[in-house]
């Protein structure tokens, strides 16, 4: 009986640690995705000033890039 209790306790500790690591990694990847999107917006604003006539195409490419990166993280 004591051995079973000890095994259950060890597996619960391991499971909670694994969940904690997974949760923090997920948050880290989400923040990385948000930072990449913010950088993409900044690049798009800079590109707008330079390539105003072609802005529509640049914005479409930037949006697709951001969306693909965002979806890749989830």
Give the pLDDT of residue 52. 66
Pair of tokens at residue 67:
């969306």
Please provide residue 52's backbone torsions phi and psi, each rounded to the nearest 5 degrees.
-55, -40
Give the pLDDT band of residue 48 (cuts 50, 70, 90).
Answer: low
- Mean pLDDT, the chain, rounded, equals 72
pLDDT of residue 30: 73
Q: How confident is the model at residue 61 (pLDDT cuts 50, 70, 90)?
A: confident
The yes-or-no verdict on residue 21 having pLDDT over 70 is yes
Res 55: pLDDT: 61
């Amino acid at each position: 009986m004591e051995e079973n209790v000890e095994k259950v306790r060890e597996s619960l500790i391991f499971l909670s640690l694994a969940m904690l690591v997974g949760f923090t990694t997920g948050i880290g990847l989400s923040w990385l995705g948000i930072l990449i999107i913010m950088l993409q917006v900044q690049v798009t604003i800079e590109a707008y000033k330079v390539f105003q006539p072609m802005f529509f195409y640049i914005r479409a490419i930037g949006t697709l890039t951001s969306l693909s990166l965002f979806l890749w993280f989830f």
